[in-house]
């Protein structure tokens, strides 16, 4: 029988000795800050200090923490049915969520697979694409094409379509499947479009389309590897190429969905629709783990026409009712423009206001240690010339009562949408001052 921890130091010591954290060594980990509560835009530490959250808990908690509408939805659902298997059983919250997702995504996407995490949504998307061609008798279409600089999750299939050289998974390059990699897009979001930017990808499709099942890409924003913003016309051209060469197109909107880039989904910047769409992170407002993979009728009918017509995937917590309730509430919060709404000016205007505030990061654009500053929607990025000392930068920001988690060469923010102008100013000023003080 274990003893209950009597104080903060006891459970913090246990954490240090026994619990693995993301991308962290067990024996020489980065510092962990003891969090005991969350409220709105703030994270409360064990000593009572409150940190302004600049990360939305890895881009998921778009409405901040403990939103009363989501909390009420969870409480109601908890009393009736917190979980039920989805095999052979239907429940109303899955249908409620499915209807919302179909309503807010492009019309061709009519079939919804409710997964239990973003990585699994990508696994399902890849499996859909491969099974589609197998069902149609194109057994040679087993490869996936992606662009360098991307990230699509940690499982092995997901790793295979991440950046093969500079991603998190370089240790596994000899054991993961070898896919087809095109150069990353080079024309930025705000530059003039040059059609030649996609020539290398076109050449790969021309040469290998008979073996390629699908192209998978993060629309507009290459997230966890580089936080780069590329031109919408790249997506429009990519859609045309996939149609021309009979290759499916998968969009990974797990990081960019639900308003983050200034459009409800990043693909809307290019006004294009994929054959398969993966979403997650902000789907439940960061309350619970849930994701979804949406497919067109063409894909679902193709899979169903094969000798094995069932889609070969089924997570234990697929379509968890509690998570579905949270997701329905979060979508309603985002889209509601009533007088009692969280965003009475509308979510789009709120994102525009955040973008204007984040542009104050450009104060350090000419700093000798800074390579680039870029802002899109509710994403602000300061790219340094050298690798960021995460522990040092983070400690200085915590001193300023701000929570930001740098990685690689980047000090970046993806804040909750509820931040006020004053809070956004404090967030950006803290980053600017930290860079000036430490560099």
> What does the CA dihedral 415, 294, 80, 282 come to, rounded to 10 degrees?
0
Residue 173 is encoded by which pair of tokens? 């390059």
User: What are the backbone angles phi and psi of residue 200, rounded to the nearest 5°?
Assistant: -65, -40
Count of Cβ atoms closer than 10 Å to residue 49 Cβ: 13
Q: Are strands 379-384 and 370-376 parallel, antiparallel or unpaired?
A: antiparallel
Decide if 288 contacts 126 (C-beta within 8 A): no
* Crossing angle (nearest 10°) for helices 68-80 and 321-335: 150
Residues facing 40 on adjacent strands: 65
Identified catalytic residue from 141, 230, 234, 281:
281
Helix (H) or strand (E) holding 20: none
Phi/psi at 11 (5° precision): -75, -25
Nearest to 162 by CA among 142, 176, 141, 143: 176
Cα dihedral sign for 324, 325, 326, 327? positive
392 is catalytic: no
Check if the beta carbon of residue 121 is closer than 8 Å to that of residue 254.
yes
* 143-181 as b/e: b if 16+ CB within 10 A: bbbbbbbbbbbbeebbbbbbbbeebbbeeeeeebeebbb
Instruction: Tell me the sheet residues that pair with 182.
Output: 147
Q: Rounded CA gap, 120 and 293, in Å?
A: 9
Catalytic residue among 42, 65, 132, 151: 151
Q: Is 252 a catalytic site residue?
A: yes
Active site residue 417: no
Listed in sequence order, the DSSP H helices in 220-309 are 232-244, 297-304
Distance of CA 204 to the CA centre of its chain: 27
Q: 151 an active-site residue?
A: yes
Phi and psi for 438 in degrees, rounded to 5?
-95, -20
Q: Smallest Cα–Cα separation from 436: which of 372, 369, 339?
A: 369
Phi and psi angles of residue 413, each rounded to the nearest 5 degrees, phi first:
-135, 145
Task: Report the catalytic residues.
Answer: 23, 151, 252, 281
């Amino acid at each position: 029988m274990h003893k209950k921890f009597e104080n903060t130091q006891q459970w913090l010591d246990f954490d240090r000795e026994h619990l693995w954290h993301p991308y962290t060594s067990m024996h020489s980990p980065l510092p962990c800050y003891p969090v005991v509560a969350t409220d709105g835009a703030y994270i409360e530490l064990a000593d009572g200090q409150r940190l302004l959250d600049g990360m939305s808990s890895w881009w998921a908690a778009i409405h901040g923490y403990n939103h009363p509408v989501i909390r009420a939805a969870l409480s109601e659902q908890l009393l009736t049915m917190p979980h039920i298997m989805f095999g052979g059983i239907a429940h109303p919250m899955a249908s409620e969520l499915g209807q919302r997702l179909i309503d807010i995504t492009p019309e061709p996407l009519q079939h919804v697979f409710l997964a239990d995490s973003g990585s699994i949504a990508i696994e399902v998307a890849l499996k859909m694409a491969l099974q589609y061609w197998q069902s149609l008798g194109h057994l040679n279409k087993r490869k996936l094409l992606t662009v360098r600089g991307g990230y699509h999750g940690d499982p092995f299939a997901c790793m295979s379509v991440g950046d093969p050289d500079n991603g998190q998974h370089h240790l596994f390059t000899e054991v993961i499947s070898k896919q087809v990699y095109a150069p990353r897009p080079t024309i930025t979001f705000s530059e003039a479009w040059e059609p030649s930017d996609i020539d290398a990808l076109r050449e790969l499709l021309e040469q290998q389309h008979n073996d390629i099942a699908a192209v998978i890409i993060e629309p507009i924003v290459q997230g966890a590897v580089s936080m780069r913003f590329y031109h919408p016309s790249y997506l429009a051209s990519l859609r045309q190429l996939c149609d021309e060469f009979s290759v499916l197109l998968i969009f990974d909107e797990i990081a960019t969905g639900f308003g983050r880039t200034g459009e409800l989904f990043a693909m809307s910047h290019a006004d294009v629709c994929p054959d398969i769409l993966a979403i997650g992170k902000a789907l439940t407002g960061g309350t619970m783990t849930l994701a979804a993979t949406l497919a067109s009728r063409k894909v679902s009918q193709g899979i169903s026409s094969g000798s094995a017509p069932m889609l070969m995937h089924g997570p234990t917590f697929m379509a968890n009712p509690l998570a579905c309730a949270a997701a329905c509430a979060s979508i309603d919060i985002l889209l509601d423009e009533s007088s009692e709404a969280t965003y009475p000016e509308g979510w789009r205007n709120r994102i525009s206001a955040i973008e204007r505030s984040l542009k104050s990061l450009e104060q350090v654009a000419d700093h000798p240690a800074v390579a680039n500053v870029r802002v899109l929607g509710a994403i602000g990025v300061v790219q340094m010339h050298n690798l960021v000392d995460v522990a040092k930068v983070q400690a200085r920001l915590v001193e300023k009562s701000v929570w930001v988690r740098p990685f690689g060469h980047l000090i970046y923010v993806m804040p909750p949408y509820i931040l006020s102008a004053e809070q956004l100013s404090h967030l950006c000023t803290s980053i600017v001052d930290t860079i000036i003080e430490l560099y």
